[in-house]
Structure 1
Amino acid sequence: MPINIPKLLPARSILEEENIFIMDNDRAEHQDIRPLNILILNLMPEKEKAEAQFLRLLGNTPLQVNITFLKTATYVPKHTSRLHLEQFYTTFEDIRDKKFDGMIITGAPVELLKFEQVQYWEELKQILDWTKRNVTSTLHICWGAQAALYHHFNIGKEELPKKCSGVYSHQVLDRHEKLLQGFDDIFFAPHSRYTDVPESEISGHPGLKLLAASGEAGAFIISSADGKQIMVTGHLEYETDTLAEEYARDREKGLDIHVPQYYFPGDNPVKPPVNRWRSHAHLFFSNWLNYYVYQQTPYEWR
C-alpha cells in the first residue's frame, strides 16, 4: 500500500527514484477503493491444491480480493470431482461479458504436446484474446506462460534434454521494474517443466521485457511492454513439499527422472526440503496486485 507524505519532503525524490509507491494528501483524499475481482483459470490436475497455493498468496495483502474460478468447457478434468467443479467453478460463456481487474492462468501438464494438439487450445485462444479487452493484467504461470508467449508474441517452446526440476537462483535484470520491487539481486524459485522458451527471442522482442532469468533455468519473469501480460515460467506458488510430491509421483510411474536440483539438502531425497522462495513469492504477488492491478484498474469498468 502507498505511503502518504508531503509533496516537498526531501526524501520524496529518493523514494520516487527507488520506485517506492507514494502519494500526497490530495490524491489520498480522492481515492476510491473497492474490492479487486480476480479470475483464476485453473488448468492444474489437482485443482484443490492449486487453489490453496494461489489463495494463500493473494490473501496476504491489505487489499480485499474477490475470486472467481474458471474451468474449461471443452475438457473435463479427471482428478477433480464433478461436484467440486459444479459448486466452485464457472465457464467462459458465463463470464465473457464481465470485466476483471486481474486474472491468473495456471500451468498444465500438457507441455510436451504441440499447442494445437491440446484439447482445449481453441477455447484458451478465445480466453487469451478476451483478456486483452476485459482484464487489467493477466498473470500466466509455467505452461500458461508458454501459451501466452506463443499466442500473443509468436514465440514457441523447445523440448529440453531432461526435465527442468529444482530450485534455481535467478538474477533481477531490471531493478526499476515495480513487479520486482523489494527483490534481492539474487533470489530462488522452483521450476518443473520439460520445455523452455528461447531467451534470445524474448530479449529481442520489442513488445517484451525480460525482468529476471536464471543461468540454469533460463528466462523466468517476462512482461509485456504495457504490463498487461505477465509470464512466469516457474512456480513461485509451490509449497515446500510440491516438488518432492512430483518427484515421488514420477518415480512411481517409472519415469527416468532425476532428483530435483538444489532442493533437498545435499540432493538427498530422504531429507526434508527447505523452502528458499516463500518470501519472494509473497512479494511478487503483492507487487502484481498492487502495481499492475490495483493501481491500474478503473474504479468503474465502462
Structure 2
Amino acid sequence: MLAHALKDEIQDAYRAWLDARGFEPRRGQRQMIADVATGITDDDDRICVIEAGTGTGKTAAYCLAVIPVAQAEGKKIVVSTATIALQEQVLLKDLPDLASHTTLDFSYVLAKGRGRYVCLKRLDEVLDTDVSAEIPLFDEPGSNDLKTYTAMATMFEQGNWDGELESWDDPIDQESWRRLTTDHRGCANNRCDLFQSCPFFRARGEIHEADIVVANHDLVLADLNLGGGVILPQPDETILVIDEAHHLPQKTQQHFTLSTRVGATTRWLDQVNTALGTMTQNFG
C-alpha cells in the first residue's frame, strides 16, 4: 500500500517538474504515475503493466513514481530498454531533466556488458609475443593492430583511457577488439593479478553505487542467465522497469533457447564412437 508520505513526495516532485518546465498536467501521465506507484507497493504482486500512447510522457511518469518508492525501500532501479535511441533518451535527456527540475535526489549510470571493456590480461598477452604465439583462438594481429594495442596499453597506464570501447578515439574493427575481451568463463575475477585495475569491475562498482542503472534487455537477460546480480544489482534488491516491453519475448527466446543441428550431432557421436573404439584397442 502506498504510504501517505510517499504519495506526497511523488505529488510534490510532479508539481515541481511541471512548474519548472511550464507544462500542464496530463491526465494520462497522472494516471500512469498513480498506477505505477500503487502497483509496485501492492502487498501481493508488485507488478504493473502499462500501455500508453505517444506523447503521454511515459519515462517521466514511471521515474516520478518509482524513484521515491525505491529510495524508501532501499532498493535500486534498473531501467531496461530495447533500443539504443531510447536508452540515450533516458540517460541523456529524461533523467537529467528530472534531476534538474524536481526535488528528487538520485544518481544514475549506464550499464554495459563485459565485451565493451578491454581485458587487461588479454591485452598483456597479445602484446607479449611469446604468449600470443601460444594462443590459437584468433589470427595473429597485424602491425597496425599491434600499434593500436600498444597505444591502448600506454593510454590506460597513463590514465588517459578508461578501457571502454566507446571511449577509444580511433575506430577499431570487431575482430581486432575481440582479441582484447573475455567473458565470464574466461575471467579470473578477483583471482586475476590485474583485478584492481580492471575496467569492467571498476564500472561494475559504479553500477552498484548508483540509484538508477540504465541497461538494455540483452544485458538484463544475460545477467539473469548467470543467476542475477553478476553485472546488475541483485534482482530481489531491485525495482525493474522494462520499457519497450513488446521486444522482450523475442529477446528472451534468443537468450534462453538452445539449438543443435541433428547432422552435426550425429557426426560428432560417430567420431566419439570411433575414438572410443581406438582407445579400447590401444589400451585394452
State the TM-score, normalized to the length of structure 1: 0.25
More strand by share: 1
More helix by share: 2
Q: Larger relative CO (CA 8 A, sep 6+): 1 or 2?
A: 2
